[in-house]
Structure 1
């Protein structure tokens, strides 16, 4: 069912903000009453993320209706992304150029169709970074979401709780490409 989906890149938040927020609100409808998941808080996170270096989104459209999206931005070796980890990171983790996958979500009709992987892969296909990191709630889908990321090649590296009223998340990383050999 992911056939017929057009994948569009965006680097200008103003052009896609409304779409991202609408999909978010639909996907998280059962949790919007909880402060961390509120549309207002998501909008604040989205605005902050969109100002970070290398911000980019890929949105899948079916007949001009958004089916889902992912967005990411580059993170530096001293970024708070790394500093918030609860345990020491594997050696060399922060030395590799990294993009943080901040959000990936699909509307219900497109789940289980392979579209999430298509959006993910398209977002990373032209990134200059060597690796990608993400945070996942290990309880989502009774652990199925984390298992999916493991099948995509991600491995667990630590845990963090980005906000006091949010869940404890599993931090994961995987290579996008191997670093160029040094001479």
Structure 2
């Protein structure tokens, strides 16, 4: 499988890619869609909220005009609710300058284990000037394989967070952008 193009879209383009992101999400999360936190409607609400937050940026991959994967995030600053919910509090070195928080991403099941997720991730980071990028992962996802994948990409665990009552407790991870 080959990605025919990688496109970086910003806040102004959210409306143009929203349907594609929702389609990819629904397929990649299909086994979990019955759970309130993973329902497509809940994800759509989060996407809309994140889409108007500072520094929204997304990378979406298409193969033959068909969306196969995406990642998106926002800029977070000291005092952001993202950091406030992280326990224990992250070291000040991570929070004293703006960071990029990856909020969601993934690829359709047929595109897993092809390197596509890493290509999308790296394409987004190649455009960034923040010193750090952070994300939250469900440590049980893929029987721990997703967490291990992020570790192999250079992320390290710095705490835990439960973004909403419907969310599982997530592991907060961070790494340098470059």
How high is the TM-score relative to the length of structure 2? Answer: 0.95
Equivalent position of 2:169 in the other structure: 168
Instruction: Describe the SS at the equivalent of 2:78.
Output: coil
Contact 2:83–2:89 under 8 Å retained in 1: no
Size of the aligned set, in residue pairs, is 176
The aligned runs of 1:95-134 (5 Å cut-off) are 95-134=96-135
Quote the Cα distance in structure 2 between the aligned partners of 1:34 and 1:160: 18
Quote the Cα distance in structure 1 between the aligned partners of 2:136 and 2:102: 8
Please state if 1:34 is matched with 2:38.
Answer: no
Structure 1 runs of 4+ aligned residues shifted over 3 Å read none
Larger radius of gyration: 1
Equivalent position of 1:7 in the other structure: 6
Quote the Cα distance in structure 2 between the aligned partners of 1:56 and 1:98: 13
Deviations 1:91-114 (A, max 9, x none): 422013200011111001111011
Kindly state the Cα deviation for residue 23 of structure 1 after the two structures are TM-superposed. Answer: 0.9
Equivalent position of 2:74 in the other structure: 73
Gaps of 5+ in 2: none
Kindly state the Cα deviation for residue 71 of structure 1 after the two structures are TM-superposed. Answer: 0.5
Contact 2:37–2:167 under 8 Å retained in 1: yes
**Residues 4 and 92 of structure 1: is their aligned pair in 2 closer, same or farther, counting only changes over 3 Å?**
closer
Taking only aligned residues, the RMSD between alpha carbons, in angstroms, comes to: 1.1
Kindly state the Cα deviation for residue 166 of structure 1 after the two structures are TM-superposed. Answer: 1.2
Gaps of 5+ in 1: 178-183
How high is the TM-score relative to the length of structure 1? Answer: 0.93
Quote the Cα distance in structure 1 between the aligned partners of 2:42 and 2:162: 15
